[in-house]
Amino acid sequence: MTEFWTPDSEGVPFQKGWFYRAFDIQEFMKKIEEDPRGGKVIGMNFDGKNIEFYTEANSEQMKKYLEKE
């Protein structure tokens, strides 16, 4: 299980108990990880109703990135 906190939440009282059945998200992440253009999901960014998934860069992507510098 992974937890995340907003940057300004330190020292704020909280309670647990809100659960969301994330089956659709898990299936979508599996598709991302199996796609040749995808990779291992290492992070998510929630923006309103949208979720952006961050994946590990593969060796070809890293090569292109390093060539730009």
Domain residues of the chain, as ranges? 39-69
What is the C-alpha to C-alpha distance for residues 6 and 11, in angstroms, rounded to an integer? 12
Q: What's the token pair of residue 62?
A: 């890293």
- pTM for this entry: 0.58
Beta-ladder partners of 46: 51
**Regarding predicted confidence, which is higher, 21 or 57?**
57
**Regarding predicted confidence, which is higher, 1 or 47?**
47
